[in-house]
């Protein structure tokens, strides 16, 4: 380039134009990344759905896998006392987290400890079994709530992808050393005041609950699964 071009107004204008275009491209790209990032797990799930091998209910895993999980879990029980925030009930909240009680949903990569507690603060520790509902060993309606966007995939302790479940899909609960397999029979969206979803039932079911739409607490996504005999 001729050194005199540095002082050429046309050259300077062209260079400025290129810089503006480059800056616009960078800002546009950053904008796209910021918009897409929160929804990337859903986009990734749609583009590359996991290949799931369906498990036949009642057929146990190999003894080696069972022993390995027992060793990892080690029958560990943790009790944590917390003070709820302004959105929870007054008083303290005792959270009991046991590694032997698990919720496992293979289709969406969920493997969460089921925790016991008296307020919504319990949700920060895992899948919260609502205290006014049943337990898998007793039958009836066991209701379990989980955070949807406090954690995101590939974390296993999130209901982020709960909306990807369909009727006929299966999930499992390990409760006090015994496995309970469920098949999804109903999916609905209700308001936070529709507490009838917690009503007891004659059949043994599990009700999974999380917020919807994504990044909102406007409604509740409710997934019901019936025990597979």
**What does the angle CA 58 – CA 54 – CA 64 come to, to the nearest 5 degrees?**
60
83-103 b/e (C-beta count within 10 Å ≥ 16 → b)? ebeeebeeeebebbbbbbbbb
Residue 150 is encoded by which pair of tokens?
A: 């406090």
* pTM exceeding 0.85: no
Cα–Cα dist 99/211, whole Å = 25
Q: What are phi and psi of 155, to 5 degrees?
A: -60, 140
What class is the 55-227 domain?
mainly beta
- From 203, 226, 208, 228, select the one nearest 59 (Cα to Cα): 228
Q: Phi, psi at residue 70, to the nearest 5°?
A: -65, -40
The β-bridge partners of 182 are: 171, 227
Nearest CA among 62, 40, 174, 61 for reference residue 110: 174
**What residues act catalytically?**
147, 211, 220
Any idea which residue has 């302790």 for tokens? 157
Boundaries of every domain in the chain:
1-49, 55-227
Q: Measured between alpha carbons, how far is residue 197 from residues 1, 176, 211 in Å?
A: 75, 25, 14
Per-residue pLDDT of the chain (229 residues; tens, 9 = 90+): 555 555 566 766 787 888 888 888 888 888 887 777 677 777 777 777 665 444 333 333 334 433 444 444 444 434 434 444 444 444 556 666 555 899 999 999 999 999 999 888 888 889 999 999 999 999 999 999 999 988 889 899 999 999 999 999 999 999 999 999 999 999 999 999 999 999 999 999 999 999 999 988 999 999 999 999 6
């Amino acid at each position: 380039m001729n050194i005199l071009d540095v002082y050429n107004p046309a050259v300077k204008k062209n260079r400025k134009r290129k810089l503006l275009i480059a800056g616009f491209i960078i800002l546009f790209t950053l904008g796209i990344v910021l918009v897409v990032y929160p929804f990337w797990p859903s986009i990734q799930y749609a583009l590359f759905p996991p290949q799931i091998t369906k498990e036949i209910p009642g057929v146990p895993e190999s003894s080696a896998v069972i022993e390995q999980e027992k060793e990892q879990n080690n029958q560990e029980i943790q009790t944590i006392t917390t003070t709820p925030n302004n959105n929870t009930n007054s008083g303290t909240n005792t959270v009991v987290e046991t590694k032997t009680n698990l919720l496992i949903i293979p289709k969406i990569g969920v493997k969460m400890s089921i925790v016991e507690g008296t307020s919504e603060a319990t949700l920060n520790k895992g899948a919260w079994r609502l205290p006014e509902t049943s337990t898998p060993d007793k039958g009836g309606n066991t209701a379990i709530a989980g955070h949807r966007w406090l954690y995101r995939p590939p974390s296993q302790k999130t209901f982020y992808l709960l909306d990807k479940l369909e009727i006929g899909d299966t999930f499992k609960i390990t409760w006090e050393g015994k496995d309970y397999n469920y098949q999804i029979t109903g999916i609905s969206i209700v308001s936070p005041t529709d507490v009838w979803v917690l009503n007891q039932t004659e059949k043994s079911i599990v009700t999974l609950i999380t917020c919807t739409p994504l990044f909102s607490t406007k409604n509740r996504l409710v997934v019901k699964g019936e025990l597979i005999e």
